[in-house]
Protein backbone atom coordinates (compact mmCIF):
# COMPACT_ATOMS: atom_id res chain seq x y z
CA UNK A 1 0.00 0.00 0.00
CA UNK A 2 1.09 3.55 -0.69
CA UNK A 3 1.75 5.72 2.35
CA UNK A 4 -1.52 7.12 3.71
CA UNK A 5 -3.73 5.07 1.33
CA UNK A 6 -5.33 3.07 4.12
CA UNK A 7 -6.17 6.25 6.04
CA UNK A 8 -7.97 7.67 2.99
CA UNK A 9 -10.05 4.50 2.69
CA UNK A 10 -11.05 4.71 6.35
CA UNK A 11 -12.06 8.36 5.96
CA UNK A 12 -14.22 7.42 2.97
CA UNK A 13 -15.87 4.54 4.85
CA UNK A 14 -16.49 6.78 7.88
CA UNK A 15 -18.08 9.45 5.66
CA UNK A 16 -20.37 6.80 4.19
CA UNK A 17 -21.30 5.57 7.70
CA UNK A 18 -22.11 9.16 8.65
CA UNK A 19 -24.37 9.48 5.59
CA UNK A 20 -26.11 6.24 6.56
CA UNK A 21 -26.84 7.71 10.02
CA UNK A 22 -28.18 10.96 8.54
CA UNK A 23 -30.32 9.38 5.80
CA UNK A 24 -33.72 8.18 7.04
CA UNK A 25 -33.37 4.64 5.72
CA UNK A 26 -35.80 1.79 6.25
CA UNK A 27 -34.69 -1.04 8.59
CA UNK A 28 -34.08 -3.33 5.61
CA UNK A 29 -32.01 -0.68 3.78
CA UNK A 30 -30.00 0.07 6.95
CA UNK A 31 -29.19 -3.60 7.51
CA UNK A 32 -28.21 -4.07 3.84
CA UNK A 33 -25.93 -1.01 3.90
CA UNK A 34 -24.22 -2.04 7.15
CA UNK A 35 -23.45 -5.40 5.60
CA UNK A 36 -22.25 -3.80 2.33
CA UNK A 37 -20.02 -1.29 4.19
CA UNK A 38 -18.42 -4.10 6.18
CA UNK A 39 -17.74 -5.88 2.87
CA UNK A 40 -16.37 -2.67 1.31
CA UNK A 41 -13.83 -2.33 4.14
CA UNK A 42 -12.36 -5.72 3.19
CA UNK A 43 -12.10 -5.01 -0.57
CA UNK A 44 -8.87 -3.38 -1.84
CA UNK A 45 -9.67 0.01 -3.48
CA UNK A 46 -7.81 -1.07 -6.64
CA UNK A 47 -10.25 -3.98 -7.15
CA UNK A 48 -13.07 -3.52 -9.74
CA UNK A 49 -15.45 -4.94 -7.10
CA UNK A 50 -14.73 -1.91 -4.89
CA UNK A 51 -16.25 0.48 -7.49
CA UNK A 52 -19.27 -1.79 -8.00
CA UNK A 53 -19.93 -1.93 -4.25
CA UNK A 54 -19.35 1.82 -3.81
CA UNK A 55 -21.79 2.64 -6.64
CA UNK A 56 -24.42 0.40 -5.06
CA UNK A 57 -24.06 2.17 -1.69
CA UNK A 58 -24.27 5.60 -3.38
CA UNK A 59 -27.45 4.60 -5.21
CA UNK A 60 -29.16 3.57 -1.96
CA UNK A 61 -28.04 6.71 -0.11
CA UNK A 62 -29.12 9.00 -2.96
CA UNK A 63 -32.72 7.75 -2.97
CA UNK A 64 -35.36 10.00 -1.29
CA UNK A 65 -36.38 7.52 1.43
CA UNK A 66 -38.01 10.14 3.65
CA UNK A 67 -37.81 13.31 1.51
CA UNK A 68 -41.25 14.59 0.44
CA UNK A 69 -42.48 17.86 -0.99
CA UNK A 70 -45.38 19.57 0.80
CA UNK A 71 -48.63 19.47 -1.17
CA UNK A 72 -50.54 22.68 -1.85
CA UNK A 73 -53.94 22.02 -0.33
CA UNK A 74 -55.58 25.36 -1.12
CA UNK A 75 -58.40 24.09 -3.34
CA UNK A 76 -59.42 27.51 -4.70
CA UNK A 77 -55.85 28.30 -5.73
CA UNK A 78 -55.42 24.80 -7.22
CA UNK A 79 -58.59 25.28 -9.30
CA UNK A 80 -57.31 28.67 -10.57
CA UNK A 81 -53.94 27.13 -11.50
CA UNK A 82 -55.57 24.27 -13.43
CA UNK A 83 -57.91 26.67 -15.26
CA UNK A 84 -55.01 28.96 -16.14
CA UNK A 85 -52.98 26.16 -17.76
CA UNK A 86 -55.78 24.30 -19.58
CA UNK A 87 -59.11 25.31 -21.02
CA UNK A 88 -62.01 22.84 -20.60
CA UNK A 89 -61.16 19.28 -19.36
CA UNK A 90 -63.62 19.69 -16.48
CA UNK A 91 -63.85 15.99 -15.61
CA UNK A 92 -60.10 15.64 -14.99
CA UNK A 93 -59.84 18.91 -13.05
CA UNK A 94 -62.73 17.79 -10.85
CA UNK A 95 -60.96 14.45 -10.16
CA UNK A 96 -57.70 16.17 -9.16
CA UNK A 97 -59.50 18.64 -6.87
CA UNK A 98 -61.38 15.74 -5.23
CA UNK A 99 -58.04 14.01 -4.54
CA UNK A 100 -56.65 17.21 -3.00
CA UNK A 101 -59.79 17.62 -0.87
CA UNK A 102 -59.48 14.07 0.50
CA UNK A 103 -55.73 14.60 0.97
CA UNK A 104 -56.53 17.66 3.09
CA UNK A 105 -58.78 15.57 5.37
CA UNK A 106 -56.59 12.43 5.38
CA UNK A 107 -52.92 13.29 4.73
CA UNK A 108 -51.70 9.67 4.45
CA UNK A 109 -54.06 8.74 1.58
CA UNK A 110 -52.51 6.80 -1.30
CA UNK A 111 -52.21 8.65 -4.62
CA UNK A 112 -54.68 7.62 -7.34
CA UNK A 113 -53.45 5.87 -10.47
CA UNK A 114 -55.06 7.73 -13.37
CA UNK A 115 -54.99 6.91 -17.09
CA UNK A 116 -55.77 9.75 -19.51
CA UNK A 117 -57.07 8.33 -22.79
CA UNK A 118 -57.70 10.55 -25.80
CA UNK A 119 -56.58 11.55 -29.29
CA UNK A 120 -53.18 13.23 -29.89
CA UNK A 121 -52.86 16.93 -29.15
CA UNK A 122 -55.62 17.29 -26.53
CA UNK A 123 -53.21 18.03 -23.65
CA UNK A 124 -52.64 14.69 -21.85
CA UNK A 125 -48.91 15.13 -21.21
CA UNK A 126 -49.06 18.87 -20.49
CA UNK A 127 -51.93 18.21 -18.07
CA UNK A 128 -49.59 15.98 -16.04
CA UNK A 129 -47.09 18.86 -15.76
CA UNK A 130 -49.90 21.22 -14.80
CA UNK A 131 -51.10 18.86 -12.04
CA UNK A 132 -47.55 18.68 -10.62
CA UNK A 133 -47.28 22.49 -10.60
CA UNK A 134 -50.72 22.87 -9.00
CA UNK A 135 -49.88 20.38 -6.21
CA UNK A 136 -46.34 21.76 -5.72
CA UNK A 137 -44.86 18.34 -6.53
CA UNK A 138 -41.84 17.31 -8.60
CA UNK A 139 -42.66 16.07 -12.11
CA UNK A 140 -41.15 12.95 -13.69
CA UNK A 141 -41.92 11.65 -17.19
CA UNK A 142 -41.06 8.25 -18.62
CA UNK A 143 -41.68 7.65 -22.35
CA UNK A 144 -42.89 4.06 -22.69
CA UNK A 145 -43.46 4.06 -26.47
CA UNK A 146 -41.60 1.11 -28.01
CA UNK A 147 -40.19 -0.08 -24.64
CA UNK A 148 -39.61 -3.85 -24.88
CA UNK A 149 -37.22 -4.76 -22.07
CA UNK A 150 -38.66 -5.62 -18.66
CA UNK A 151 -35.33 -4.58 -17.05
CA UNK A 152 -36.02 -0.97 -18.12
CA UNK A 153 -38.72 -0.95 -15.43
CA UNK A 154 -37.24 -3.22 -12.75
CA UNK A 155 -33.51 -2.80 -13.38
CA UNK A 156 -30.75 -5.40 -13.82
CA UNK A 157 -29.42 -7.63 -11.08
CA UNK A 158 -26.04 -6.59 -9.67
CA UNK A 159 -24.35 -9.71 -11.03
CA UNK A 160 -24.41 -8.14 -14.54
CA UNK A 161 -21.50 -5.91 -15.58
CA UNK A 162 -22.64 -2.29 -15.82
CA UNK A 163 -25.95 -3.05 -14.06
CA UNK A 164 -28.20 -0.11 -13.15
CA UNK A 165 -31.58 0.36 -11.46
CA UNK A 166 -34.70 0.57 -13.64
CA UNK A 167 -36.31 3.80 -14.79
CA UNK A 168 -38.65 3.99 -11.79
CA UNK A 169 -35.81 4.16 -9.24
CA UNK A 170 -33.63 6.32 -11.53
CA UNK A 171 -36.46 8.85 -11.91
CA UNK A 172 -37.10 8.98 -8.15
CA UNK A 173 -33.42 9.75 -7.54
CA UNK A 174 -33.57 12.47 -10.19
CA UNK A 175 -36.76 13.95 -8.66
CA UNK A 176 -35.24 14.01 -5.17
CA UNK A 177 -38.62 13.35 -3.52
CA UNK A 178 -40.65 10.23 -2.80
CA UNK A 179 -44.00 11.77 -3.84
CA UNK A 180 -43.59 13.18 -7.38
CA UNK A 181 -46.21 13.22 -10.12
CA UNK A 182 -45.04 10.30 -12.26
CA UNK A 183 -46.17 10.41 -15.91
CA UNK A 184 -46.05 7.10 -17.79
CA UNK A 185 -46.38 8.43 -21.34
CA UNK A 186 -47.84 6.31 -24.19
CA UNK A 187 -48.56 3.25 -22.03
CA UNK A 188 -50.60 1.77 -24.89
CA UNK A 189 -47.45 1.48 -27.05
CA UNK A 190 -45.44 -0.88 -24.81
CA UNK A 191 -43.87 -3.76 -26.75
CA UNK A 192 -42.97 -7.37 -25.87
CA UNK A 193 -40.07 -9.56 -26.95
CA UNK A 194 -37.65 -12.24 -25.67
CA UNK A 195 -36.36 -9.84 -22.96
CA UNK A 196 -39.71 -9.92 -21.14
CA UNK A 197 -42.96 -8.03 -20.96
CA UNK A 198 -42.68 -4.47 -19.52
CA UNK A 199 -46.48 -4.22 -19.11
CA UNK A 200 -46.37 -7.14 -16.66
CA UNK A 201 -43.52 -5.45 -14.76
CA UNK A 202 -45.73 -2.36 -14.40
CA UNK A 203 -48.44 -4.42 -12.66
CA UNK A 204 -46.52 -4.23 -9.37
CA UNK A 205 -45.79 -0.50 -9.81
CA UNK A 206 -49.43 0.40 -10.47
CA UNK A 207 -51.09 -1.80 -7.86
CA UNK A 208 -51.85 0.22 -4.68
CA UNK A 209 -51.78 -3.02 -2.65
CA UNK A 210 -48.26 -3.93 -3.84
CA UNK A 211 -46.42 -0.72 -4.71
CA UNK A 212 -45.66 0.13 -1.08
CA UNK A 213 -43.11 -2.71 -1.30
CA UNK A 214 -41.74 -2.23 -4.84
CA UNK A 215 -38.43 -4.06 -5.27
CA UNK A 216 -35.99 -3.07 -8.01
CA UNK A 217 -33.67 -5.91 -9.12
CA UNK A 218 -30.54 -3.76 -8.70
CA UNK A 219 -31.33 -2.15 -5.33
CA UNK A 220 -32.97 -5.37 -4.08
CA UNK A 221 -34.59 -3.47 -1.18
CA UNK A 222 -38.27 -2.62 -0.82
CA UNK A 223 -39.09 1.01 -1.72
CA UNK A 224 -42.45 2.61 -0.94
CA UNK A 225 -44.13 4.04 -4.07
CA UNK A 226 -47.52 4.57 -2.43
CA UNK A 227 -46.99 8.34 -2.11
CA UNK A 228 -46.37 8.75 -5.84
CA UNK A 229 -49.22 10.09 -8.01
CA UNK A 230 -49.06 7.93 -11.13
CA UNK A 231 -50.60 9.25 -14.36
CA UNK A 232 -50.55 7.16 -17.54
CA UNK A 233 -51.45 8.48 -20.99
CA UNK A 234 -52.75 6.53 -24.00
CA UNK A 235 -54.42 7.09 -27.35
CA UNK A 236 -56.52 3.92 -27.10
CA UNK A 237 -57.40 1.35 -24.44
CA UNK A 238 -57.61 -1.70 -26.73
CA UNK A 239 -53.84 -2.30 -26.80
CA UNK A 240 -53.38 -2.02 -23.00
CA UNK A 241 -53.41 -5.52 -21.41
CA UNK A 242 -56.53 -6.21 -19.30
CA UNK A 243 -54.79 -6.67 -15.91
CA UNK A 244 -52.88 -3.38 -16.38
CA UNK A 245 -56.03 -1.51 -17.46
CA UNK A 246 -57.85 -2.89 -14.41
CA UNK A 247 -55.35 -1.22 -12.05
CA UNK A 248 -55.91 2.28 -13.46
CA UNK A 249 -58.77 4.75 -13.18
CA UNK A 250 -59.51 5.62 -16.81
CA UNK A 251 -60.41 9.24 -17.56
CA UNK A 252 -61.35 9.87 -21.20
CA UNK A 253 -60.41 13.14 -22.91
CA UNK A 254 -62.40 14.07 -25.99
CA UNK A 255 -61.33 16.29 -28.86
CA UNK A 256 -61.95 20.03 -28.68
CA UNK A 257 -64.89 21.82 -30.28
CA UNK A 258 -64.27 24.69 -32.72
CA UNK A 259 -65.25 27.19 -30.01
CA UNK A 260 -62.78 25.64 -27.51
CA UNK A 261 -60.02 25.69 -30.14
CA UNK A 262 -60.58 29.41 -30.77
CA UNK A 263 -60.28 30.11 -27.01
CA UNK A 264 -57.16 27.90 -26.70
CA UNK A 265 -55.55 29.58 -29.71
CA UNK A 266 -56.32 33.03 -28.32
CA UNK A 267 -55.23 32.32 -24.70
CA UNK A 268 -52.36 29.88 -25.09
CA UNK A 269 -51.12 29.06 -28.61
CA UNK A 270 -50.87 32.52 -30.16
CA UNK A 271 -49.10 34.20 -27.18
CA UNK A 272 -46.66 31.26 -27.09
CA UNK A 273 -45.87 31.58 -30.81
CA UNK A 274 -45.57 35.39 -30.62
CA UNK A 275 -42.96 34.99 -27.88
CA UNK A 276 -41.14 32.22 -29.79
CA UNK A 277 -40.84 34.48 -32.87
CA UNK A 278 -39.85 37.67 -30.98
CA UNK A 279 -43.15 39.35 -31.85
CA UNK A 280 -45.64 41.27 -29.71
CA UNK A 281 -49.36 42.03 -29.93
CA UNK A 282 -48.35 45.39 -31.49
CA UNK A 283 -46.77 43.52 -34.42
CA UNK A 284 -49.48 40.92 -35.21
CA UNK A 285 -53.21 40.51 -34.71
CA UNK A 286 -55.09 37.41 -35.87
CA UNK A 287 -58.86 37.89 -35.98
CA UNK A 288 -61.27 35.32 -34.49
CA UNK A 289 -62.73 34.77 -37.97
CA UNK A 290 -59.23 33.95 -39.27
CA UNK A 291 -58.70 31.47 -36.42
CA UNK A 292 -62.07 29.84 -37.22
CA UNK A 293 -61.09 29.57 -40.90
CA UNK A 294 -57.75 28.10 -39.83
CA UNK A 295 -59.54 25.45 -37.74
CA UNK A 296 -62.16 24.50 -40.35
CA UNK A 297 -60.28 24.86 -43.63
CA UNK A 298 -56.58 24.29 -42.84
CA UNK A 299 -56.59 21.73 -40.00
CA UNK A 300 -58.74 18.69 -39.39
CA UNK A 301 -57.89 17.18 -36.02
CA UNK A 302 -59.25 16.41 -32.56
CA UNK A 303 -56.41 18.24 -30.77
CA UNK A 304 -54.60 21.51 -31.46
CA UNK A 305 -51.09 20.52 -32.65
CA UNK A 306 -51.64 21.37 -36.33
CA UNK A 307 -53.41 24.58 -35.33
CA UNK A 308 -50.27 25.60 -33.41
CA UNK A 309 -48.10 24.78 -36.45
CA UNK A 310 -50.24 26.95 -38.72
CA UNK A 311 -50.11 29.83 -36.22
CA UNK A 312 -46.32 29.40 -36.17
CA UNK A 313 -46.32 29.67 -40.00
CA UNK A 314 -48.24 32.97 -39.77
CA UNK A 315 -45.77 34.29 -37.17
CA UNK A 316 -42.79 33.30 -39.35
CA UNK A 317 -44.24 35.15 -42.32
CA UNK A 318 -44.81 38.32 -40.25
CA UNK A 319 -41.36 38.02 -38.62
CA UNK A 320 -39.72 37.81 -42.06
CA UNK A 321 -41.63 40.93 -43.20
CA UNK A 322 -40.51 42.86 -40.08
CA UNK A 323 -36.90 41.68 -40.59
CA UNK A 324 -37.04 43.24 -44.07
CA UNK A 325 -38.03 46.60 -42.67
CA UNK A 326 -41.84 46.54 -42.54
CA UNK A 327 -43.35 48.77 -39.86
CA UNK A 328 -46.83 48.87 -38.34
CA UNK A 329 -49.24 46.19 -37.14
CA UNK A 330 -50.12 43.24 -39.39
CA UNK A 331 -53.78 42.21 -39.15
CA UNK A 332 -54.42 38.69 -40.45
CA UNK A 333 -58.05 38.12 -41.46
CA UNK A 334 -59.54 35.25 -43.51
CA UNK A 335 -58.47 36.88 -46.80
CA UNK A 336 -54.87 37.48 -45.70
CA UNK A 337 -54.79 33.91 -44.37
CA UNK A 338 -55.13 32.54 -47.93
CA UNK A 339 -52.15 34.68 -49.03
CA UNK A 340 -49.97 33.30 -46.22
CA UNK A 341 -51.03 29.62 -46.12
CA UNK A 342 -52.20 29.09 -49.70
CA UNK A 343 -55.45 27.52 -50.96
CA UNK A 344 -57.95 25.94 -48.55
CA UNK A 345 -56.99 22.33 -47.75
CA UNK A 346 -60.25 20.91 -46.40
CA UNK A 347 -63.84 21.33 -47.55
CA UNK A 348 -66.99 20.04 -45.81
CA UNK A 349 -67.10 16.46 -47.11
CA UNK A 350 -70.86 16.41 -47.54
CA UNK A 351 -70.70 19.28 -50.04
CA UNK A 352 -68.03 17.45 -52.04
CA UNK A 353 -70.28 14.39 -52.66
CA UNK A 354 -72.74 13.85 -55.49
CA UNK A 355 -75.77 12.62 -53.53
CA UNK A 356 -78.28 9.99 -54.61
CA UNK A 357 -79.83 6.63 -53.61
CA UNK A 358 -77.37 4.22 -52.02
CA UNK A 359 -75.20 6.80 -50.25
CA UNK A 360 -75.34 7.08 -46.42
CA UNK A 361 -73.21 8.90 -43.85
CA UNK A 362 -71.86 6.84 -40.94
CA UNK A 363 -69.67 7.84 -38.01
CA UNK A 364 -66.47 6.09 -36.94
CA UNK A 365 -63.96 6.31 -34.10
CA UNK A 366 -60.17 6.23 -34.59
CA UNK A 367 -57.25 6.68 -32.15
CA UNK A 368 -56.79 10.22 -33.51
CA UNK A 369 -60.45 11.23 -33.09
CA UNK A 370 -63.80 10.71 -34.79
CA UNK A 371 -64.36 10.70 -38.57
CA UNK A 372 -67.37 10.55 -40.88
CA UNK A 373 -67.64 7.49 -43.09
CA UNK A 374 -69.56 7.24 -46.36
CA UNK A 375 -71.24 3.96 -47.29
CA UNK A 376 -71.92 3.57 -51.02
CA UNK A 377 -74.11 0.83 -52.50
CA UNK A 378 -74.76 0.11 -56.18
CA UNK A 379 -77.03 -2.53 -57.75
CA UNK A 380 -76.70 -4.27 -61.11
CA UNK A 381 -78.22 -7.24 -62.92
CA UNK A 382 -77.12 -10.47 -61.33
CA UNK A 383 -78.12 -13.44 -59.19
CA UNK A 384 -78.17 -12.13 -55.62
CA UNK A 385 -74.44 -11.69 -54.96
CA UNK A 386 -72.97 -9.27 -52.40
CA UNK A 387 -69.55 -7.70 -52.96
CA UNK A 388 -67.82 -5.71 -50.18
CA UNK A 389 -64.83 -3.42 -50.86
CA UNK A 390 -62.92 -0.66 -49.06
CA UNK A 391 -60.47 -2.74 -47.00
CA UNK A 392 -63.17 -3.83 -44.54
CA UNK A 393 -62.43 -6.00 -41.51
CA UNK A 394 -64.30 -9.21 -40.67
CA UNK A 395 -66.70 -7.54 -38.22
CA UNK A 396 -67.70 -4.89 -40.76
CA UNK A 397 -68.25 -7.53 -43.46
CA UNK A 398 -70.47 -9.46 -41.07
CA UNK A 399 -72.44 -6.24 -40.38
CA UNK A 400 -73.16 -5.93 -44.11
CA UNK A 401 -74.27 -9.57 -44.32
CA UNK A 402 -76.52 -9.13 -41.26
CA UNK A 403 -78.00 -5.96 -42.82
CA UNK A 404 -78.86 -7.80 -46.06
CA UNK A 405 -80.36 -10.73 -44.14
CA UNK A 406 -82.59 -8.32 -42.17
CA UNK A 407 -83.73 -6.63 -45.40
CA UNK A 408 -84.57 -9.99 -47.05
CA UNK A 409 -86.53 -11.17 -44.02
CA UNK A 410 -88.48 -7.85 -43.82
CA UNK A 411 -88.78 -7.19 -47.57
CA UNK A 412 -92.57 -6.87 -47.45
CA UNK A 413 -92.52 -4.25 -44.68
CA UNK A 414 -89.85 -2.27 -46.53
CA UNK A 415 -91.77 -2.29 -49.82
CA UNK A 416 -89.17 -4.39 -51.66
CA UNK A 417 -90.17 -7.11 -54.15
CA UNK A 418 -88.80 -10.44 -52.86
CA UNK A 419 -87.92 -11.54 -56.41
CA UNK A 420 -85.57 -8.54 -56.65
CA UNK A 421 -82.89 -10.31 -54.56
CA UNK A 422 -82.45 -13.04 -57.18
CA UNK A 423 -82.32 -10.58 -60.09
CA UNK A 424 -79.59 -8.16 -58.85
CA UNK A 425 -76.08 -8.14 -57.40
CA UNK A 426 -75.19 -5.58 -54.74
CA UNK A 427 -71.83 -3.87 -54.27
CA UNK A 428 -71.09 -2.04 -51.00
CA UNK A 429 -68.01 0.20 -50.99
CA UNK A 430 -66.60 2.30 -48.11
CA UNK A 431 -64.11 5.00 -49.19
CA UNK A 432 -61.21 5.67 -48.54
CA UNK A 433 -60.17 2.37 -50.07
CA UNK A 434 -56.61 2.29 -48.71
CA UNK A 435 -57.60 2.80 -45.05
CA UNK A 436 -58.44 -0.38 -43.06
CA UNK A 437 -61.86 -0.22 -41.38
CA UNK A 438 -63.53 -2.50 -38.87
CA UNK A 439 -66.11 -2.62 -36.11
CA UNK A 440 -69.88 -3.07 -35.82
CA UNK A 441 -70.88 0.62 -35.52
CA UNK A 442 -71.47 1.12 -39.27
CA UNK A 443 -74.37 -1.38 -39.22
CA UNK A 444 -77.19 1.21 -39.29
CA UNK A 445 -75.50 3.22 -42.08
CA UNK A 446 -75.06 0.03 -44.14
CA UNK A 447 -78.70 -0.97 -43.80
CA UNK A 448 -79.82 2.55 -44.79
CA UNK A 449 -77.54 2.45 -47.84
CA UNK A 450 -78.83 -0.98 -48.94
CA UNK A 451 -82.53 -0.12 -48.43
CA UNK A 452 -81.98 3.19 -50.23
CA UNK A 453 -80.61 1.59 -53.40
CA UNK A 454 -83.33 -1.09 -53.42
CA UNK A 455 -86.26 1.30 -52.91
CA UNK A 456 -84.90 4.33 -54.74
CA UNK A 457 -85.42 6.49 -51.63
CA UNK A 458 -82.43 8.77 -50.97
CA UNK A 459 -80.81 8.84 -47.51
CA UNK A 460 -80.88 12.39 -46.10
CA UNK A 461 -77.52 14.10 -46.65
CA UNK A 462 -77.91 16.23 -43.49
CA UNK A 463 -78.09 13.18 -41.19
CA UNK A 464 -75.24 10.99 -39.89
CA UNK A 465 -75.69 7.79 -37.90
CA UNK A 466 -73.93 5.12 -35.85
CA UNK A 467 -75.06 1.91 -34.17
CA UNK A 468 -74.77 -1.89 -34.28
CA UNK A 469 -77.65 -3.92 -35.72
CA UNK A 470 -79.08 -7.36 -34.97
CA UNK A 471 -81.03 -9.78 -37.18
CA UNK A 472 -84.15 -9.10 -35.09
CA UNK A 473 -83.97 -5.40 -35.93
CA UNK A 474 -82.57 -3.98 -32.68
CA UNK A 475 -80.06 -1.12 -32.61
CA UNK A 476 -77.28 -1.76 -30.07
CA UNK A 477 -75.01 0.84 -28.37
CA UNK A 478 -71.49 1.61 -29.61
CA UNK A 479 -68.46 3.48 -28.22
CA UNK A 480 -66.69 6.76 -28.98
CA UNK A 481 -69.92 8.81 -29.06
CA UNK A 482 -68.39 12.16 -28.04
CA UNK A 483 -65.65 11.85 -30.72
CA UNK A 484 -68.23 10.92 -33.35
CA UNK A 485 -70.45 13.90 -32.46
CA UNK A 486 -67.48 16.27 -32.83
CA UNK A 487 -66.60 14.66 -36.19
CA UNK A 488 -70.16 15.28 -37.43
CA UNK A 489 -69.98 18.93 -36.32
CA UNK A 490 -66.63 19.37 -38.11
CA UNK A 491 -68.29 18.04 -41.29
CA UNK A 492 -71.20 20.46 -40.93
CA UNK A 493 -73.81 17.84 -39.92
CA UNK A 494 -76.26 18.90 -37.19
CA UNK A 495 -78.63 15.90 -37.04
CA UNK A 496 -77.58 12.50 -35.70
CA UNK A 497 -79.19 9.09 -35.24
CA UNK A 498 -77.83 7.15 -32.25
CA UNK A 499 -78.81 3.98 -30.33
CA UNK A 500 -81.18 4.77 -27.46
CA UNK A 501 -78.72 3.21 -24.97
CA UNK A 502 -76.09 5.79 -25.96
CA UNK A 503 -78.21 8.66 -24.60
CA UNK A 504 -76.21 8.55 -21.34
CA UNK A 505 -72.97 9.18 -23.34
CA UNK A 506 -74.50 12.22 -25.04
CA UNK A 507 -75.33 13.73 -21.62
CA UNK A 508 -71.57 13.73 -20.83
CA UNK A 509 -70.84 15.95 -23.86
CA UNK A 510 -70.57 19.66 -22.94
CA UNK A 511 -73.90 21.46 -23.22
CA UNK A 512 -72.58 24.12 -25.62
CA UNK A 513 -71.72 21.28 -28.06
CA UNK A 514 -75.10 19.55 -27.70
CA UNK A 515 -77.01 22.78 -28.07
CA UNK A 516 -76.69 23.02 -31.85
CA UNK A 517 -77.35 19.31 -32.59
CA UNK A 518 -80.60 17.37 -33.04
CA UNK A 519 -80.27 13.85 -31.59
CA UNK A 520 -82.62 11.02 -32.63
CA UNK A 521 -82.47 7.94 -30.38
CA UNK A 522 -83.53 4.69 -32.08
CA UNK A 523 -84.58 1.35 -30.54
CA UNK A 524 -85.08 -0.44 -33.83
CA UNK A 525 -83.92 -0.42 -37.44
CA UNK A 526 -87.40 0.62 -38.64
CA UNK A 527 -87.11 3.80 -36.50
CA UNK A 528 -83.72 4.56 -38.10
CA UNK A 529 -85.14 4.09 -41.63
CA UNK A 530 -88.13 6.34 -40.87
CA UNK A 531 -85.79 9.18 -39.87
CA UNK A 532 -82.96 8.64 -42.35
CA UNK A 533 -84.76 7.95 -45.64
CA UNK A 534 -86.51 10.70 -47.54
CA UNK A 535 -90.22 10.07 -48.04
CA UNK A 536 -91.15 8.52 -51.35
CA UNK A 537 -92.98 10.97 -53.58
CA UNK A 538 -95.99 9.38 -55.32
CA UNK A 539 -96.23 10.11 -59.03
Q: Are residues 83 and 230 in the same domain?
A: yes
Q: Is the Cβ–Cβ distance between 390 and 465 less than 8 Å?
A: no
Domain hosting residue 58, numbered range: 5-62
Find, among 399, 493, 384, the residue nearest to 445 by Cα.
399
* Distance between CA atoms of residues 442 and 67, nearest Å: 54
Could you tell me which residues come within 8 angstroms of residue 211 by beta carbon, excluding any fewer than 6 positions away?
A: 204, 205, 224, 225, 226, 228
Query: What was the pLDDT predicted at 353?
Result: 65
Question: Is there a catalytic annotation at residue 535?
Answer: no
Q: Are residues 336 and 228 in the same domain?
A: no
Q: Is the Cβ–Cβ distance between 230 and 114 less than 8 Å?
A: yes
Question: Is there a catalytic annotation at residue 272?
Answer: no
Options 130, 199, 399, 441, the catalytic residue: 441
Query: Which of 62, 87, 102 delimits the end of a domain?
Result: 62
* Distance between CA atoms of residues 450 and 258, nearest Å: 34
Concatenating the DSSP letter of every residue in 208-246 gives: TTTGGGEE-TTT-SEE--TT-EEEEEES-STTS-HHHHH
Would you say residue 539 lies in a domain?
Answer: no
Would you say residue 349 lies in a domain?
Answer: no
Q: Are residues 96 and 233 in the same domain?
A: yes
Would you say residue 350 lies in a domain?
Answer: no
Q: What is the pLDDT of residues 87-101, one digit of tens each?
A: 888 888 888 888 888
Q: Are residues 54 and 116 in the same domain?
A: no
Q: Are residues 284 and 403 in the same domain?
A: no
Q: Are residues 467 and 371 in the same domain?
A: yes
Find, among 149, 156, 186, 191, the residue nearest to 170 by Cα.
156
| Angle at alpha carbon of residue 406, lines to 404 and 412, rounded to 5° | 105
Work out how many domains the chain is built from and give that number: 4
Query: What was the pLDDT predicted at 1?
Result: 45
Query: In a 3-state reduction of DSSP, which class is residue 314?
Result: helix
Whole-structure pTM value? 0.79
pLDDT < 50 positions in the chain: 1, 3-4, 539
Would you say residue 348 lies in a domain?
Answer: no
517: domain CATH number is 3.30.230.10
Would you say residue 23 lies in a domain?
Answer: yes
Q: Are residues 381 and 503 in the same domain?
A: yes
Query: What was the pLDDT predicted at 140?
Result: 93
Q: Are residues 136 and 29 in the same domain?
A: no
Classify the phi-psi angles of 136: left when phi > 0, otherwise alpha if psi is within -120 to 50, otherwise beta.
left
Q: Are residues 243 and 262 in the same domain?
A: no
Query: Which of 190, 222, 252 delimits the end of a domain?
Result: 252
Query: What was the pLDDT predicted at 227?
Result: 86
Q: What is the pLDDT of residues 145-164, one digit of tens each?
A: 878 888 888 888 888 888 88
Q: Are residues 271 and 202 in the same domain?
A: no
Would you say residue 67 lies in a domain?
Answer: no
* Distance between CA atoms of residues 37 and 17, nearest Å: 8
Query: Which of 252, 276, 292 delimits the end of a domain?
Result: 252
Cα–Cα separations (whole angstroms), residue 423 to 187, 336, 378, 413: 53, 57, 14, 20
Q: Are residues 273 and 222 in the same domain?
A: no
Would you say residue 207 lies in a domain?
Answer: yes
Query: What was the pLDDT predicted at 539?
Result: 42
Q: Are residues 482 and 422 in the same domain?
A: yes
Query: What was the pLDDT predicted at 537?
Result: 55
316: domain CATH number is 1.10.8.60
220: domain CATH number is 3.40.50.300
First to last CA, the chain: 113
Would you say residue 217 lies in a domain?
Answer: yes
Amino acid sequence: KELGEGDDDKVEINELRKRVEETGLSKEARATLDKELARLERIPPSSPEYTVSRNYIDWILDLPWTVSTTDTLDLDQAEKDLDRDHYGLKKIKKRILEFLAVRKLKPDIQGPILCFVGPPGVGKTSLGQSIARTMNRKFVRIALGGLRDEAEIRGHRRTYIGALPGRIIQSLKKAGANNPVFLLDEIDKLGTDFRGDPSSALLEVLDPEQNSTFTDHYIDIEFDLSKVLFIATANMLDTIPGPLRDRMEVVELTGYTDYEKVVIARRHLLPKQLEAHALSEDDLEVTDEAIRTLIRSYTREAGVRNLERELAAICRRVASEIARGRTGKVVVDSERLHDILGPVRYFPEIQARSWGPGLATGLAWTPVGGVILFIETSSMKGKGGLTLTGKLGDVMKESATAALTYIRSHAGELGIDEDLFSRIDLHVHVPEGAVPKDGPSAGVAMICSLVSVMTGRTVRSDVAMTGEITLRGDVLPVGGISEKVLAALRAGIRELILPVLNEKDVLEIPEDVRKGVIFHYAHTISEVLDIALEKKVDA
